[in-house]
Copies of this chain bind each other. A is one copy, B any other.
Amino acid sequence: MSAESLTRFSLNTATIKRSSLIEAISLTAHSGLGWIGLWRDRVAEVGVKEARERLDDAGLRVSSLCRGGFLSTRDPRARAEALADNRRAIAEAAELGASELVIVAGGLFDFAGAIAGRASANQYPVLTAGEKDLADARQRVAEAISILVPEALAHGVRLALEPLHPMYVADRAVLSTLSQALDLAEQFDPAAVGVVVDSFHVFWDPALRQQILRAGRTGRISSYQISDFVLPLAADSLLSRGYPGSGYIDFGTMTRWVTEAGYLGPVEVEIFNQHIWDSPAEEVIRRAKQGFLSQLQPALSSLS
A→B interface (CB under 8 Å) = 108, 114, 118, 121, 124, 127, 129, 132-135, 138, 165-167, 169-171, 176-177, 179-180, 203-207, 229, 231-233, 235-237, 247-253, 295
Contact = CB atoms under 8 A, between A and B. Distances in A.
B166 A129 contact: no
Question: 5 tightest A-B contacts by CB?
Answer: A132-B250, A170-B248, A169-B204, A166-B204, A180-B206
Given A134-B250, A170-B248, A205 B231 contact: no
A237 B124 CA distance: 17
State how many copies of this chain the complex holds: 2
Given A114-B231, A167-B237, A176-B204, 8 more contacts: A134-B204, A138-B206, A167-B167, A170-B229, A177-B206, A232-B236, A233-B233, A233-B237
Given A176-B206, A250-B133, A167 B124 contact: no
18 contacts: A114-B231, A118-B232, A127-B248, A132-B249, A132-B250, A133-B250, A133-B253, A134-B203, A134-B204, A169-B204, A170-B204, A176-B205, A179-B206, A179-B207, A180-B206, A232-B236, A233-B233, A235-B235
How would you classify the secondary structure of chain A's contact residues: helix, strand, loop or mixed? loop
Given A166-B205, A180-B206, A237-B237, A252 B129 contact: yes
A244 B235 CA distance: 23
